Amino acid sequence: MASKTCLITGGNSGIGKAAAIQLAKHGVKIIIGCRDEKRGLAALKEIKEKSKSNSAELLLLDMSSQRCIRSAVNELISNHSHIDVLIHNAADFDISRKAPQYSDENIETVWATNHIGPVLLTELLLDKLKQSEQGRIITIASQGLVLHPFLKINYANPEFTNENFRVETAYYQSKLAQVMYTYWLSDKLKNTKITVNCIRVTNVKIDIERYPNLSQLMKFMYSIKSKFSLSPDEMAQTYLYLATSPELQSVTGKYFDEKNRLVTSSKFSKDKHQIEKLMEVTAKYIFTDSKSS
């Protein structure tokens, strides 16, 4: 893996940072995408120290902002001949949020960060991934989708504008969309050297201090939940597996759990008509370079 280059969005904390450390230990050149420079530099220092590797760098990247994504890709194109692995780890899921927030392009940020941003970033980096001997795109979903087997995409209003906004509903819809996008993209790239697979992330310990607005009751509930959760390091092992395992060289369009096992998704998520409908709606959110600047 010494010549491999991997971009991990949201690589400054949690599973993303843990995966960056593990990949760097395996000789992979790491690029961590992070929207906050101070936190990104602190994470970069930790990644280098723990992996004992200097092959890591920071890319300022806000996945809710299409303008920022395009700027970051231009930087990547200038500095790297190829990208071998793209891990869409960044996610907007502020469990204390009560009202929607909006991106630079006035798109609700959960939808923008968790689905629209990854689609745009992937599209802009496809040429770099095609330069790899065997490119890998890894999307991230959630085990919470198992509790919502009948969840569907709100095609008419995926941002829940003027509806009762619940961050949980917005989040799980965006993760369902990413599962469906995985199937769509793997089919689109089936005649290339690029594979596309998705990870169903299970309960992972979170840093409650990142959510200062949480009620005491919610903090207590999450403290109990954390006792039965994996550590970021444990979950990151599946990221490492999908990014580096030789046995997955030709495996594409699959869904993996935290034990590296193949799992299935909902009937809705596998419906080709629904997948095409999702991508039609998604395309309407992707702005041209001039419109997003």
185 torsion bin: left (phi>0), alpha (psi -120 to 50), beta (else):
alpha
Work out the average pLDDT over 146-160. Answer: 97
Write the pLDDT tens digit of every residue in 245-291.
999 999 999 999 999 999 999 999 999 999 999 999 999 999 876 45
Alpha-carbon distance 77 to 94, whole Å? 32
- pLDDT for position 215: 59
H-only helix segments in 6-143 = 14-25, 37-51, 66-79, 109-111, 117-130
- pLDDT for position 290: 47
- Can you read off the two tokens belonging to residue 198? 């998705």
Work out the average pLDDT over 27-50. Answer: 98
What is the rounded average pLDDT for all residues in the chain?
92
Is-contact 196 139, C-beta < 8 A?
A: yes
Work out the average pLDDT over 86-113. Answer: 95
What are the φ and ψ backbone dihedral angles of 139, each rounded to 5 degrees? -100, 165
Q: Which helix (H) or strand (E) holds 33?
A: strand 29-34
Alpha-carbon distance 147 to 222, whole Å? 18
- Can you read off the two tokens belonging to residue 192? 């290339």
What is the three-class DSSP state of 163?
coil
Q: Does position 217 have pLDDT exceeding 80, yes or no?
A: no
Alpha-carbon distance 57 to 26, whole Å? 16
